[in-house]
Structure 1
Amino acid sequence: MSIIVGLTGGIGSGKTTVAKLFEKHGIPIYIADERARAIMDQPDVVQAVQQIFTTSVITEQGTLDRSKIKQLVFDAKDQLNKLNQIVHPRVKEDFDQWLIEHKEAPIVMKESAILFENGLEKNCDVVVLVIAPEEVRIERVMNRDGVSKEQVMKIINNQMKDEEKLRRSQYIIENNNKKSLESDIISIIRDINLKNHLI
Protein backbone atom coordinates (compact mmCIF):
# COMPACT_ATOMS: atom_id res chain seq x y z
CA MET A 1 0.00 0.00 0.00
CA SER A 2 1.21 3.50 -0.87
CA ILE A 3 1.64 6.15 1.81
CA ILE A 4 -1.10 8.71 1.07
CA VAL A 5 -0.04 12.30 1.65
CA GLY A 6 -2.75 14.97 1.72
CA LEU A 7 -1.74 18.38 0.38
CA THR A 8 -3.91 21.35 1.24
CA GLY A 9 -3.92 25.10 1.82
CA GLY A 10 -6.20 28.10 1.48
CA ILE A 11 -6.86 29.95 -1.75
CA GLY A 12 -3.73 31.68 -3.07
CA SER A 13 -1.37 29.70 -0.83
CA GLY A 14 0.35 28.19 -3.88
CA LYS A 15 -0.69 24.53 -3.57
CA THR A 16 -0.33 23.92 -7.31
CA THR A 17 3.26 25.17 -7.34
CA VAL A 18 4.09 22.93 -4.39
CA ALA A 19 2.29 19.93 -5.96
CA LYS A 20 4.33 20.31 -9.16
CA LEU A 21 7.56 20.26 -7.14
CA PHE A 22 6.52 17.06 -5.35
CA GLU A 23 5.69 15.57 -8.77
CA LYS A 24 9.13 16.62 -10.04
CA HIS A 25 10.59 14.51 -7.23
CA GLY A 26 8.75 11.42 -8.42
CA ILE A 27 5.54 11.52 -6.39
CA PRO A 28 2.30 10.94 -8.36
CA ILE A 29 -0.20 13.73 -7.67
CA TYR A 30 -3.99 13.49 -7.70
CA ILE A 31 -5.40 17.02 -8.17
CA ALA A 32 -8.93 16.74 -6.77
CA ASP A 33 -10.23 19.97 -8.38
CA GLU A 34 -9.08 18.95 -11.87
CA ARG A 35 -10.58 15.46 -11.53
CA ALA A 36 -13.83 16.92 -10.15
CA ARG A 37 -14.07 19.23 -13.19
CA ALA A 38 -13.68 16.27 -15.55
CA ILE A 39 -16.32 14.30 -13.60
CA MET A 40 -18.73 17.26 -13.78
CA ASP A 41 -18.49 17.12 -17.59
CA GLN A 42 -19.99 13.60 -17.64
CA PRO A 43 -23.55 13.75 -19.10
CA ASP A 44 -25.23 11.95 -16.18
CA VAL A 45 -23.55 14.31 -13.70
CA VAL A 46 -24.61 17.35 -15.77
CA GLN A 47 -28.24 16.20 -15.57
CA ALA A 48 -28.04 15.38 -11.85
CA VAL A 49 -26.58 18.82 -11.07
CA GLN A 50 -29.24 20.58 -13.17
CA GLN A 51 -31.92 18.98 -10.96
CA ILE A 52 -30.64 21.02 -7.99
CA PHE A 53 -31.37 24.38 -9.61
CA THR A 54 -34.56 26.02 -10.83
CA THR A 55 -32.62 28.07 -13.39
CA SER A 56 -30.60 26.49 -16.23
CA VAL A 57 -26.92 25.87 -15.43
CA ILE A 58 -26.14 24.05 -18.70
CA THR A 59 -24.27 25.84 -21.51
CA GLU A 60 -25.12 25.59 -25.21
CA GLN A 61 -22.30 23.03 -25.49
CA GLY A 62 -24.10 20.79 -22.97
CA THR A 63 -21.56 21.31 -20.18
CA LEU A 64 -22.14 22.88 -16.77
CA ASP A 65 -21.73 26.65 -16.44
CA ARG A 66 -19.30 26.58 -13.53
CA SER A 67 -19.15 30.33 -12.93
CA LYS A 68 -22.98 30.46 -12.74
CA ILE A 69 -23.06 27.49 -10.35
CA LYS A 70 -20.38 29.14 -8.19
CA GLN A 71 -22.53 32.28 -7.90
CA LEU A 72 -25.70 30.29 -7.14
CA VAL A 73 -24.16 28.18 -4.36
CA PHE A 74 -21.91 30.83 -2.80
CA ASP A 75 -24.48 31.89 -0.19
CA ALA A 76 -26.80 28.88 -0.55
CA LYS A 77 -25.47 26.17 1.76
CA ASP A 78 -28.36 23.80 0.96
CA GLN A 79 -27.64 23.82 -2.79
CA LEU A 80 -23.90 23.55 -2.15
CA ASN A 81 -24.49 20.47 0.02
CA LYS A 82 -26.62 18.87 -2.70
CA LEU A 83 -23.92 19.60 -5.27
CA ASN A 84 -21.25 18.07 -3.02
CA GLN A 85 -23.42 14.98 -2.49
CA ILE A 86 -23.37 14.40 -6.25
CA VAL A 87 -19.71 15.21 -6.95
CA HIS A 88 -17.78 14.04 -3.87
CA PRO A 89 -18.72 10.32 -3.94
CA ARG A 90 -17.68 10.20 -7.60
CA VAL A 91 -14.36 11.91 -6.85
CA LYS A 92 -13.78 9.35 -4.09
CA GLU A 93 -14.44 6.47 -6.53
CA ASP A 94 -12.13 8.13 -9.06
CA PHE A 95 -9.38 8.52 -6.43
CA ASP A 96 -9.75 4.87 -5.35
CA GLN A 97 -9.30 3.80 -8.97
CA TRP A 98 -6.32 6.16 -9.36
CA LEU A 99 -4.74 4.62 -6.23
CA ILE A 100 -4.98 1.15 -7.80
CA GLU A 101 -3.28 2.50 -10.95
CA HIS A 102 -0.44 3.92 -8.80
CA LYS A 103 -0.14 1.07 -6.31
CA GLU A 104 3.56 0.58 -7.14
CA ALA A 105 4.41 4.09 -5.93
CA PRO A 106 5.72 4.14 -2.32
CA ILE A 107 4.22 7.63 -1.79
CA VAL A 108 1.26 9.27 -3.54
CA MET A 109 -0.23 12.71 -2.96
CA LYS A 110 -3.82 13.95 -2.99
CA GLU A 111 -4.12 17.72 -3.45
CA SER A 112 -7.40 19.24 -2.26
CA ALA A 113 -8.27 22.79 -1.17
CA ILE A 114 -11.02 21.42 1.10
CA LEU A 115 -9.23 18.38 2.52
CA PHE A 116 -10.18 19.18 6.13
CA GLU A 117 -13.59 20.69 5.33
CA ASN A 118 -14.66 17.42 3.68
CA GLY A 119 -13.01 15.12 6.22
CA LEU A 120 -10.68 13.75 3.52
CA GLU A 121 -7.67 13.87 5.86
CA LYS A 122 -9.07 10.70 7.50
CA ASN A 123 -8.00 8.79 4.38
CA CYS A 124 -4.47 10.28 4.42
CA ASP A 125 -1.47 8.99 6.36
CA VAL A 126 -0.02 12.50 6.73
CA VAL A 127 -1.03 16.02 5.73
CA VAL A 128 1.17 18.75 4.24
CA LEU A 129 -0.24 22.27 4.66
CA VAL A 130 0.85 25.13 2.41
CA ILE A 131 0.57 28.57 4.02
CA ALA A 132 1.38 32.12 2.93
CA PRO A 133 0.80 35.60 4.38
CA GLU A 134 -2.73 36.82 3.70
CA GLU A 135 -1.59 39.85 1.68
CA VAL A 136 0.48 37.56 -0.60
CA ARG A 137 -2.51 35.23 -1.09
CA ILE A 138 -4.84 38.14 -1.92
CA GLU A 139 -2.41 39.57 -4.47
CA ARG A 140 -1.90 36.15 -6.13
CA VAL A 141 -5.64 35.51 -6.53
CA MET A 142 -6.37 39.05 -7.75
CA ASN A 143 -3.64 38.68 -10.41
CA ARG A 144 -4.63 35.13 -11.35
CA ASP A 145 -8.42 35.47 -11.48
CA GLY A 146 -8.85 39.18 -12.17
CA VAL A 147 -11.08 39.65 -9.10
CA SER A 148 -11.32 42.36 -6.44
CA LYS A 149 -9.75 42.25 -3.00
CA GLU A 150 -13.27 42.07 -1.50
CA GLN A 151 -14.10 38.98 -3.56
CA VAL A 152 -10.89 37.24 -2.45
CA MET A 153 -11.53 38.15 1.20
CA LYS A 154 -15.03 36.68 0.98
CA ILE A 155 -13.57 33.35 -0.17
CA ILE A 156 -10.80 33.42 2.47
CA ASN A 157 -13.38 34.13 5.21
CA ASN A 158 -15.49 31.18 4.01
CA GLN A 159 -12.57 28.75 4.27
CA MET A 160 -11.28 27.05 7.42
CA LYS A 161 -8.75 29.25 9.21
CA ASP A 162 -5.05 28.39 8.88
CA GLU A 163 -4.75 28.14 12.68
CA GLU A 164 -7.10 25.15 12.70
CA LYS A 165 -5.37 23.55 9.70
CA LEU A 166 -1.95 24.02 11.33
CA ARG A 167 -3.14 22.11 14.37
CA ARG A 168 -4.19 19.16 12.19
CA SER A 169 -1.21 18.99 9.80
CA GLN A 170 2.05 17.08 10.19
CA TYR A 171 4.14 19.20 7.80
CA ILE A 172 4.01 22.92 7.01
CA ILE A 173 5.40 24.65 3.91
CA GLU A 174 5.58 28.43 3.96
CA ASN A 175 5.21 29.65 0.39
CA ASN A 176 5.93 33.38 0.65
CA ASN A 177 7.85 34.01 -2.62
CA LYS A 178 11.01 34.67 -0.63
CA LYS A 179 12.64 31.29 -0.32
CA SER A 180 13.16 28.13 -2.27
CA LEU A 181 10.48 25.53 -1.66
CA GLU A 182 12.66 22.77 -3.04
CA SER A 183 14.62 22.13 0.18
CA ASP A 184 11.39 21.92 2.24
CA ILE A 185 9.93 19.42 -0.19
CA ILE A 186 13.07 17.25 -0.29
CA SER A 187 13.22 17.16 3.53
CA ILE A 188 9.51 16.26 3.82
CA ILE A 189 9.87 13.40 1.31
CA ARG A 190 12.97 12.17 3.15
CA ASP A 191 11.22 12.33 6.52
CA ILE A 192 8.16 10.41 5.25
CA ASN A 193 10.47 7.80 3.71
CA LEU A 194 12.41 7.41 6.96
CA LYS A 195 9.35 7.20 9.20
CA ASN A 196 7.79 4.56 6.98
CA HIS A 197 11.05 2.62 6.49
CA LEU A 198 10.97 3.24 2.73
CA ILE A 199 14.70 4.03 2.70
Structure 2
Amino acid sequence: MTGQPFLLGLTGSIGMGKSTTAEMFRALGVPVWDADAAVHRLYAPGGAAMPAIAALCPEAVGVDGVDRAALKAWIARDPTALARIEAAVHPLVAADRAEFIAAQPDAPLLLLDIPLLFETGAEAWLDAVLVVTAPPEAQRTRVLSRPGMTEAQFQMLLAKQMPDAEKRARADHVIETCSLEQTRAAVQALVDKLRAAHA
Protein backbone atom coordinates (compact mmCIF):
# COMPACT_ATOMS: atom_id res chain seq x y z
CA MET A 1 0.00 0.00 0.00
CA THR A 2 3.05 2.25 0.25
CA GLY A 3 2.97 5.26 -2.01
CA GLN A 4 -0.81 5.28 -2.31
CA PRO A 5 -3.17 6.57 0.38
CA PHE A 6 -5.82 4.26 1.84
CA LEU A 7 -9.18 5.56 0.61
CA LEU A 8 -11.88 5.36 3.27
CA GLY A 9 -15.38 6.31 2.16
CA LEU A 10 -17.76 7.86 4.69
CA THR A 11 -21.52 7.71 4.31
CA GLY A 12 -24.70 7.57 6.34
CA SER A 13 -28.34 8.54 6.06
CA ILE A 14 -29.57 12.06 6.82
CA GLY A 15 -29.20 13.04 10.48
CA MET A 16 -26.76 10.23 11.33
CA GLY A 17 -23.85 12.57 12.16
CA LYS A 18 -21.79 12.30 8.99
CA SER A 19 -20.55 15.92 8.93
CA THR A 20 -19.65 15.85 12.62
CA THR A 21 -17.76 12.57 12.15
CA ALA A 22 -15.89 13.96 9.11
CA GLU A 23 -14.78 16.93 11.24
CA MET A 24 -13.39 14.49 13.83
CA PHE A 25 -11.24 12.85 11.14
CA ARG A 26 -10.10 16.30 10.00
CA ALA A 27 -9.16 17.19 13.59
CA LEU A 28 -6.91 14.10 13.66
CA GLY A 29 -5.05 15.33 10.58
CA VAL A 30 -6.82 13.12 8.04
CA PRO A 31 -7.39 15.00 4.75
CA VAL A 32 -11.14 15.01 3.96
CA TRP A 33 -12.81 15.37 0.57
CA ASP A 34 -16.48 16.33 0.74
CA ALA A 35 -18.68 15.50 -2.27
CA ASP A 36 -21.28 18.16 -1.36
CA ALA A 37 -18.58 20.83 -0.99
CA ALA A 38 -17.17 19.81 -4.39
CA VAL A 39 -20.58 20.37 -6.00
CA HIS A 40 -20.84 23.78 -4.29
CA ARG A 41 -17.43 24.71 -5.77
CA LEU A 42 -18.50 23.53 -9.22
CA TYR A 43 -21.76 25.52 -8.98
CA ALA A 44 -20.11 28.72 -7.66
CA PRO A 45 -19.48 31.72 -9.96
CA GLY A 46 -16.80 30.64 -12.45
CA GLY A 47 -17.19 26.99 -11.36
CA ALA A 48 -16.51 24.20 -13.82
CA ALA A 49 -20.17 23.09 -13.91
CA MET A 50 -21.49 26.46 -15.09
CA PRO A 51 -21.00 25.93 -18.87
CA ALA A 52 -22.49 22.40 -18.72
CA ILE A 53 -25.54 23.54 -16.73
CA ALA A 54 -25.95 26.60 -18.98
CA ALA A 55 -26.12 24.31 -22.00
CA LEU A 56 -28.84 22.21 -20.33
CA CYS A 57 -30.88 24.89 -18.54
CA PRO A 58 -29.79 28.46 -19.38
CA GLU A 59 -32.15 30.07 -16.84
CA ALA A 60 -30.39 28.21 -14.00
CA VAL A 61 -27.08 30.06 -14.51
CA GLY A 62 -26.36 33.67 -13.61
CA VAL A 63 -23.76 35.99 -12.08
CA ASP A 64 -24.12 34.15 -8.75
CA GLY A 65 -23.31 30.79 -10.31
CA VAL A 66 -25.81 27.95 -10.65
CA ASP A 67 -29.26 28.67 -9.20
CA ARG A 68 -30.30 25.47 -7.39
CA ALA A 69 -33.92 26.66 -7.10
CA ALA A 70 -34.13 27.02 -10.89
CA LEU A 71 -32.59 23.54 -11.30
CA LYS A 72 -35.15 22.07 -8.87
CA ALA A 73 -37.97 23.73 -10.82
CA TRP A 74 -36.62 22.22 -14.05
CA ILE A 75 -36.30 18.77 -12.44
CA ALA A 76 -39.91 19.07 -11.23
CA ARG A 77 -41.26 19.74 -14.72
CA ASP A 78 -38.93 17.55 -16.80
CA PRO A 79 -38.53 13.84 -15.89
CA THR A 80 -35.24 13.64 -17.84
CA ALA A 81 -33.64 16.67 -16.14
CA LEU A 82 -32.03 14.97 -13.14
CA ALA A 83 -30.32 12.28 -15.22
CA ARG A 84 -29.01 14.93 -17.63
CA ILE A 85 -27.67 17.12 -14.80
CA GLU A 86 -26.00 14.10 -13.18
CA ALA A 87 -24.44 13.02 -16.48
CA ALA A 88 -22.92 16.50 -16.84
CA VAL A 89 -21.85 17.04 -13.23
CA HIS A 90 -20.65 13.58 -12.09
CA PRO A 91 -17.51 13.59 -14.30
CA LEU A 92 -16.61 17.04 -12.92
CA VAL A 93 -17.07 15.79 -9.34
CA ALA A 94 -14.89 12.75 -10.16
CA ALA A 95 -12.18 15.06 -11.56
CA ASP A 96 -12.31 17.21 -8.40
CA ARG A 97 -11.92 14.06 -6.28
CA ALA A 98 -9.03 12.74 -8.39
CA GLU A 99 -7.27 16.09 -8.01
CA PHE A 100 -7.70 15.92 -4.22
CA ILE A 101 -6.30 12.37 -4.06
CA ALA A 102 -3.34 13.24 -6.31
CA ALA A 103 -2.50 16.24 -4.11
CA GLN A 104 -2.04 14.00 -1.01
CA PRO A 105 0.44 11.31 -2.18
CA ASP A 106 2.14 10.97 1.20
CA ALA A 107 -0.98 10.75 3.38
CA PRO A 108 -1.47 7.20 4.69
CA LEU A 109 -5.24 7.74 4.94
CA LEU A 110 -7.79 9.90 3.10
CA LEU A 111 -11.47 10.25 4.01
CA LEU A 112 -13.99 10.73 1.20
CA ASP A 113 -17.34 12.00 2.48
CA ILE A 114 -19.93 10.81 -0.07
CA PRO A 115 -23.64 11.04 0.88
CA LEU A 116 -24.85 8.72 -1.92
CA LEU A 117 -21.85 6.39 -1.74
CA PHE A 118 -23.63 3.05 -2.26
CA GLU A 119 -26.29 4.58 -4.50
CA THR A 120 -23.57 5.70 -6.95
CA GLY A 121 -21.44 2.53 -6.71
CA ALA A 122 -18.47 4.34 -5.15
CA GLU A 123 -17.56 1.32 -3.00
CA ALA A 124 -16.08 -0.23 -6.16
CA TRP A 125 -13.04 2.12 -6.11
CA LEU A 126 -12.74 2.75 -2.36
CA ASP A 127 -10.51 0.61 -0.11
CA ALA A 128 -13.13 0.49 2.66
CA VAL A 129 -16.45 2.07 3.66
CA LEU A 130 -17.42 3.56 7.02
CA VAL A 131 -21.12 4.01 7.77
CA VAL A 132 -22.27 6.25 10.61
CA THR A 133 -25.52 5.31 12.27
CA ALA A 134 -27.80 6.28 15.15
CA PRO A 135 -31.11 5.00 16.54
CA PRO A 136 -34.14 6.06 14.42
CA GLU A 137 -35.52 8.33 17.16
CA ALA A 138 -32.19 10.20 17.44
CA GLN A 139 -32.05 10.57 13.65
CA ARG A 140 -35.61 11.92 13.52
CA THR A 141 -35.00 14.42 16.34
CA ARG A 142 -31.82 15.73 14.68
CA VAL A 143 -33.40 16.15 11.26
CA LEU A 144 -36.62 17.77 12.48
CA SER A 145 -34.60 20.30 14.50
CA ARG A 146 -33.17 21.70 11.23
CA PRO A 147 -34.66 25.05 10.14
CA GLY A 148 -37.65 24.62 7.83
CA MET A 149 -37.65 20.81 7.99
CA THR A 150 -41.04 19.13 8.16
CA GLU A 151 -42.08 15.55 8.88
CA ALA A 152 -43.19 15.18 5.24
CA GLN A 153 -39.81 16.39 3.91
CA PHE A 154 -38.00 14.05 6.31
CA GLN A 155 -40.05 11.05 5.12
CA MET A 156 -39.44 12.01 1.48
CA LEU A 157 -35.66 12.23 2.06
CA LEU A 158 -35.66 8.88 3.87
CA ALA A 159 -37.57 7.27 0.99
CA LYS A 160 -34.88 8.40 -1.48
CA GLN A 161 -31.99 6.98 0.56
CA MET A 162 -30.86 3.39 0.92
CA PRO A 163 -32.15 2.08 4.30
CA ASP A 164 -29.72 2.43 7.21
CA ALA A 165 -29.76 -1.34 7.89
CA GLU A 166 -28.67 -2.06 4.32
CA LYS A 167 -25.85 0.50 4.51
CA ARG A 168 -24.61 -1.04 7.77
CA ALA A 169 -24.73 -4.53 6.26
CA ARG A 170 -22.57 -3.40 3.32
CA ALA A 171 -20.07 -1.37 5.39
CA ASP A 172 -16.54 -2.42 6.38
CA HIS A 173 -16.73 -0.25 9.50
CA VAL A 174 -19.73 1.11 11.45
CA ILE A 175 -19.63 3.91 14.05
CA GLU A 176 -22.62 4.76 16.23
CA THR A 177 -23.00 8.49 16.79
CA CYS A 178 -25.08 8.42 19.96
CA SER A 179 -22.70 10.74 21.85
CA LEU A 180 -19.80 12.97 20.78
CA GLU A 181 -17.41 11.26 23.24
CA GLN A 182 -18.28 7.78 21.97
CA THR A 183 -18.00 8.87 18.33
CA ARG A 184 -14.67 10.65 18.91
CA ALA A 185 -13.21 7.56 20.61
CA ALA A 186 -14.41 5.28 17.80
CA VAL A 187 -12.95 7.62 15.13
CA GLN A 188 -9.61 7.77 16.98
CA ALA A 189 -9.48 3.95 17.24
CA LEU A 190 -10.28 3.50 13.54
CA VAL A 191 -7.74 6.12 12.42
CA ASP A 192 -5.04 4.52 14.59
CA LYS A 193 -5.86 1.07 13.19
CA LEU A 194 -5.88 2.16 9.52
CA ARG A 195 -2.76 4.32 9.83
CA ALA A 196 -0.88 1.45 11.49
CA ALA A 197 -1.97 -0.99 8.79
CA HIS A 198 -1.26 1.32 5.86
CA ALA A 199 1.64 3.50 6.99
Q: TM-score, normalised by structure 2?
A: 0.87
Equivalent residue number for residue 143 of structure 1: 145
- Residue 141 of structure 1 contacts residue 152 of structure 1 at CA under 8 Å; is this kept in 2? yes
**Which of the numbers 65, 68, 71 marks the counterpart of 1:69?**
71
Q: Which residue pairs with 1:105 in the alignment?
A: 107
Q: Which residue of 1 aligns with 2:52?
A: 48
Q: CA deviation at 1:88?
A: 1.1
Give the structure 2 partner of residue 22 of structure 1. Answer: 25
Distance 1:158 1:22, change over 3 A: same
Please say if residues 49 and 92 of structure 2, whose CA atoms lie closer than 8 Å, have aligned partners that are also in contact.
no
What residue identity is the alignment partner of 1:31? D
Moved more, 154-163 or 39-48: 39-48
Q: Sort the Cα spacing of 1:31 and 1:77 in 2 relative to 1 into closer, same or farther, 3 A.
A: farther
Q: Do the aligned partners of residues 190 and 75 (structure 1) sit closer, same or farther apart at CA in structure 2, a change above 3 Å counting?
A: farther
TM-score (normalised: structure 1): 0.87
Secondary structure of 1:144's counterpart equals coil
Q: Deviation digits for residues 29-83 of structure 1, max 9, x if unmatched?
A: 0011001111122356224224434x82235x34222134245436966321111
| Percent of aligned positions that are identical | 26
Select which of 57, 60, 63 maps to 1:57.
60
Q: CA RMSD in A?
A: 2.2
Q: 2: CA distance between counterparts of 1:43 and 1:93?
A: 13
Q: Which runs of 5+ in 2 are unaligned?
A: none
Q: 1:25-40 counterparts in 2 under 5 A?
A: 25-40=28-43
Shift of the alpha carbon at 1:177? 3.6
- Name the CA shift for 1:83/1:8 in 2 (closer, same or farther; >3 Å): same
Report if the CA contact (8 A) 1:27-1:108 is conserved: yes
Paired residue type of 1:12: G
Structure 1, unpaired ranges of 5+? none
1: distance between equivalents of 2:179 and 2:185? 14
Distance 1:71 1:12 in 2: 25
